[in-house]
Amino acid sequence: MKNTIIFFLQCFFIAVFHINEKAYVYAEMDPTKVGSVGLKDAAMLTVGDYDNDGEADLLISSFTGNPFASGSVHIIRNVSLLSPDQFQPELLADKLTWPNEIKVVPPELEKYFGSGIFIPDGFLVSGKTTGAIRFLGSNWDSNAKVVTITEEKKDYFYHRIHFKDMNNDGAPDIITSRATKPAIGDGEGEFLWLENPNVGPIKSDSSNTPWVEHILMSDETHEDKSNKLSPDIFTDVADFDGDGIDEIVAANFFNEKVEMLFAPSYGEDLQDVLPIDTSIGPVFDAKIVDVNGDGKKDILVTNHVNDPSTSGIYVYEFICEADGQNSRKAQCYKRHDLYTGFVVKQKGIGQAAPGEAILVYPQGDEQERASILVSGDGAQKVFLLVPTSSEESSWDYTLKEVDDYQATVGSCVSLTHDTKASGASGFICANYNKGKVEFYQY
Ligand SMILES: [Ca+2]
Ligand SMILES: [Ca+2]
Ligand SMILES: [Ca+2]
Ligand SMILES: [Ca+2]
């Protein structure tokens, strides 16, 4: 009898322990700020191993609308959630136009590019409109300046790049989009790839640049906005439908579409495009990720509007059989509105919300159901969308406010398994107007 009671007691405690474990994940996950670093105009963040020493570094893009001030890139080497107040950002590159999302060359691609970072540059702000893709080698002489990969195209600016071998010569090329916004009239996009000359690492004397560019799509040739389909700001590249061929998802800001682009042969023209949503206004970001953890990739989207009725976080779930053809059918993408209702607090023309959204795993375990970390941008807050259930079929989320900057929020990045901070996980966000980089731990 005594043994039976102990057995039931053990079962009871095991059950309670498991319930508590789940409750912790979905209800009590409140990240706390563990410190901050001052850096003027800190705007966009990237985590990667810049100097190839096996330790993650934080790359910080800074820009300003001040026509007399330039943009810059700083680094915090060996970034950690432990004692972030003590970090001193180190200047890597200055005299830039408007540096956007930095891409760190992964170690396996070093022989094609060299180790270092690509910097997509420029923005629609007056005086900053002519951008470029630039590169800085991490093992170059410390006096070396960034090298420009693209040929100049006046009034066009760049935000993000992807690596993909487009001509099958073994050397990864660069896929990117660029945009232009005249003072009067609609903005337009252009989608292109830059051909890696395949002659080894990029040289600091610019002797193997610029790279030949190949235009895949351009809005310049279309009068009617509904016919404008070119990606303009952010895209993502991955095999979305599992047929072994990469798709491209585009968040079209100016022509206001979420769309899929199919390019099985990567010819010069890319006409195989499927708009999957034209109803959410200017689109900010789109990422190919498994949001609900069922092993199938979804499309995670944010828009960028000053209208709480649509300002939100959206997921497009692929609900058809992945046969390589169904991904060309709009009815195979089921939209889930995870949250709408962001209110723009930032004063000024063109302010909007939200910004970027990323999947995060508060327990540092990608097997858990992901939460979604949202940069509010003009909503001035950092948010966490927390799933109310671990069930794959559930798309219900609770919105939590992590922090209120009372100023524009830049981008956020996830930092997991931080060995210097006892394996803790957390994230880092740019507090743009206040000139700070803020560190949080779960
Ligand atoms: Ca490093
Ligand atoms: Ca190539
Ligand atoms: Ca595919
Ligand atoms: Ca999924």
Centroid of ligand 4 to alpha carbon of 247 (angstroms):
16
Please report, for residues 15, 19, 85, 433, 437, the alpha-carbon distance to residue 380 in angstroms, rounded to integers and kept in the order given.
41, 35, 22, 10, 14
The pLDDT tens digits of the residues spanning 50-90 come to: 999 999 999 999 999 999 999 999 999 999 999 999 999 99
What pLDDT was estimated at residue 270? 64
Beta strands 273-277 and 436-441, pairing class: unpaired
Residue 426 pairs in a beta bridge with: 415, 441
- Around ion ligand 1, residues with a beta carbon closer than 5 Å are 49, 51, 53, 55, 57
Centroid of ligand 2 to alpha carbon of 275 (angstroms):
28
Centroid of ligand 1 to alpha carbon of 83 (angstroms):
18
What pLDDT was estimated at residue 287? 98
- Around ion ligand 2, residues with a beta carbon closer than 5 Å are 165, 167, 169, 171, 173
Tell me the C-alpha distance between 275 and 394, whole Å. Answer: 25
Q: Is 22 helix (H, G, I), strand (E, B) or coil?
A: helix
- Is the CA virtual torsion 427, 342, 229, 127 positive or negative? negative
Residue pLDDT tens, the chain, 442 long: 444 444 444 444 444 334 444 444 444 578 999 999 999 999 999 999 999 999 999 999 999 999 999 999 999 999 999 999 999 999 999 999 999 999 999 999 999 999 999 999 999 999 999 999 999 999 999 999 999 999 999 999 999 999 999 999 999 999 999 999 999 989 999 999 999 999 999 999 999 999 999 999 999 988 888 899 999 999 999 999 888 888 999 999 999 999 999 875 555 556 689 999 999 999 999 999 999 999 999 999 999 999 999 999 999 999 999 888 899 999 999 999 999 999 999 999 999 999 999 999 998 888 889 999 999 999 999 999 999 999 999 999 999 999 999 999 999 999 999 999 999 999 999 999 999 999 999 9
Q: State the ligand closest to the CA atom of 242.
A: 3
- Angle of CA points 390, 392, 398, to nearest 5°: 50
Q: Which residues contact 130 (CB under 8 A, 6 or more apart)?
A: 97, 122, 152, 153, 154, 155, 156, 157
pTM recorded for the entire structure: 0.92
Q: Is 410 helix (H, G, I), strand (E, B) or coil?
A: strand
**Sequential DSSP letters for 90-110:** EEEEEEES-B---EEPPGGGH
